[in-house]
Amino acid sequence: MATAQYRDPVCGMQVEAAKSAGQSEHRGQTYYFCSRGCKEKFEQHPEQYEDKSREEERYRSRFQAAVRFDQPASHDGWQP
């Protein structure tokens, strides 16, 4: 069985969930840490370390949806 690997948001290390020094939840996402020090740093300022790539992904998909919505004219006359 493959072991789940997570990225320690504080130091960037890959951490196996089973071997992590601790975990913390922030905005519905679980983060794993290589050491207690990283966990403590995260919990002091979670917004500083939260997964920005996910944030960008959300922003991008929202943007793409908006673009599609704003361009019905290019499909004028096209019927599903």
**Count of other CB atoms within 10 angstroms of residue 42:** 21
* Region of 8-16, 23-31, 43-51, 64-72 interacting with Zn ion (CB under 5 A): 8-16
**Closer residue to Zn ion in complex, CB, 36/58:** 36
Instruction: Show the binding pattern over residues 35-64: x = contacts Zn ion (CB under 5 A), - = does not.
Output: ---x--------------------------
Report the nearest approach of Zn ion to the CB of residue 57 (Å). 23
How many residues bind Zn ion (CB under 5 A)? The answer is: 5
Q: Please spell the DSSP secondary structure of 4-64, one letter per residue.
A: PEEE-TTT--EEEGGG-SEEEEETTEEEEESSHHHHHHHHHSHHHHS-HHHHHHHHHHHHH
Q: Under the criterion CB under 5 A, does residue 21 sit at the interface with Zn ion?
A: no
Please give the single-letter amino acid code of residue 2: A
